Amino acid sequence: MNFKEHLDKRVSRIEAVLAKYLPQEGGPAGVVLEAMNYSVNAGGKRLRPMLMQEAFVLCGGSGELVEPFMAALEMIHTYSLVHDDLPAMDNDEYRRGRKTTHVVYGETMAILAGDALLNYAFETACRAFAMKPGCAQTERAIGVLAEKAGIFGMIGGQTADILAENAEGAADMPQLLFIHEKKTAALIQAALMIGAILAGAEQEVVDLLEKVGYDVGVAFQIQDDILDVTGEMAELGKPIGSDEKNHKTTYVTLAGVDEAKKEVERLSNEAVSILEAFETRNEFLEELIRELITRRK
User: In the structure, what pLDDT confidence band is assigned to residue 262 with cuts at 50, 70 and 90?
Assistant: very high
pLDDT value of residue 293: 76
Is the pLDDT at 171 greater than 50? The verdict is: yes
pLDDT value of residue 248: 77
**Closest Cα to residue 230, out of 291, 295, 185?**
295
pLDDT value of residue 99: 95
Residue 43 CA, distance from chain mean position: 13
In a domain, 24, yes or no: yes
The predicted model gives 145-161 an average pLDDT of: 96
Residues 6+ apart with CB under 8 A from 295: 223, 227
User: In the structure, what pLDDT confidence band is assigned to residue 167 with cuts at 50, 70 and 90?
Assistant: confident
Tell me the average pLDDT of the chain. Answer: 92
In a domain, 65, yes or no: yes
In a domain, 145, yes or no: yes
Is the pLDDT at 1 greater than 60? The verdict is: yes
**Closest Cα to residue 121, out of 94, 100, 148?**
148
Rounded to 5°, the CA angle 186-187-193 comes to: 90
Domain that holds residue 200: 3-292
In a domain, 297, yes or no: no
Cβ(51)–Cβ(189) below 8 Å:
no
Cβ(40)–Cβ(117) below 8 Å:
yes
**pTM of full prediction above 0.85:** yes
Per-residue H/E/C for 138-184 = HHHHHHHHHHHHCCCCHHHHHHHHHHHHHCCCCCCHHHHHHHHHHHH
pLDDT value of residue 150: 97
In a domain, 288, yes or no: yes
pLDDT value of residue 170: 74
pLDDT value of residue 102: 97
Cβ(296)–Cβ(227) below 8 Å:
yes
Q: How far is CA 162 from CA 132, 213, 226, in A?
A: 40, 23, 20
pLDDT value of residue 244: 52
The predicted model gives 15-40 an average pLDDT of: 96
CATH number, domain at 156?
Answer: 1.10.600.10
Is the pLDDT at 168 greater than 50? The verdict is: yes
In a domain, 15, yes or no: yes
User: In the structure, what pLDDT confidence band is assigned to residue 41 with cuts at 50, 70 and 90?
Assistant: very high
Q: How far is CA 70 from CA 48, 122, 128, 178, in A?
A: 8, 11, 11, 25
Residues 6+ apart with CB under 8 A from 211: 271, 274
> In this prediction, what percent of the chain has a pLDDT beyond 70?
93
**Count of domains observed in the chain:** 1
In a domain, 273, yes or no: yes
pLDDT in tens, 225-246: 999 888 654 444 545 555 555 5
Is the pLDDT at 158 greater than 80? The verdict is: yes
In a domain, 107, yes or no: yes
Is the pLDDT at 278 greater than 80? The verdict is: yes
Q: How far apart are CA 272 and CA 295, in angstroms?
A: 16
The predicted model gives 264-282 an average pLDDT of: 94
